[in-house]
């Protein structure tokens, strides 16, 4: 008698979803930055890359950091979360948002919750995380098992 185990989604599928989520969120964030709507002094992923490497860097390096970060968390969700519901995806996005506020922003010199730049960074950083959660959940459902 053969027994079927529930298999995890493939690495290819998980990484593909992560890259698509990364590209879509980057398009929105760069468009908001270029139009002057975004209150960020520079893309957060670029600020992190510059802090990590200790020198000014071109935008593509920041986009690469963004892609790696978003793809990593997308793979974690797609491959390892037992419940892939909308509330779960939004919960992951919310946890990552809090980490950005209390760890990432201080590391890049923007202060706790970005308050060294201004309180507008709090909701401005929430929106990309909300988009991340929605896209992650939607693409995982769309691309099925």
> Between 144 and 128, where is the model more confident?
128
The model's pTM: 0.89
Torsion over CA: 73, 76, 81, 83 (sign): positive
Q: Are 54 and 140 in contact (CB under 8 A)?
A: no
Structural domain boundaries enclosing 120: 11-143
Q: Please check whether residue 3 lies inside any domain of the structure.
A: no
Q: How many domains does the chain have?
A: 1
Residue 10 gets the label, from left (phi > 0), alpha (psi -120 to 50) or beta, of: beta
Q: Please check whether residue 5 lies inside any domain of the structure.
A: no
Neighbours of 78 (CB within 10 A): 24
pLDDT in tens, 10-54: 899 999 999 999 999 999 999 999 898 999 999 999 999 999 999
């Amino acid at each position: 008698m053969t027994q079927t185990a529930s298999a995890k989604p493939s690495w290819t599928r998980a990484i593909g979803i992560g890259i698509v989520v990364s590209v879509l969120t980057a398009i929105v964030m760069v468009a908001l930055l270029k139009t002057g709507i975004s209150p960020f002094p520079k893309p957060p992923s670029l600020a992190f890359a510059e802090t990590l490497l200790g020198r000014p860097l071109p935008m593509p390096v920041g986009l690469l950091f963004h892609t790696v970060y978003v793809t990593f968390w997308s793979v974690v969700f797609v491959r390892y979360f037992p419940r892939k519901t909308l509330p779960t995806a939004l919960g992951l996005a919310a946890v990552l948002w809090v980490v950005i506020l209390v760890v990432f922003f201080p590391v890049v010199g923007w202060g706790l919750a970005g308050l060294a730049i201004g309180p507008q960074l709090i909701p401005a950083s929430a929106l990309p995380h909300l988009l991340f959660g929605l896209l992650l959940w939607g693409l995982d459902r769309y691309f099925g098992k």
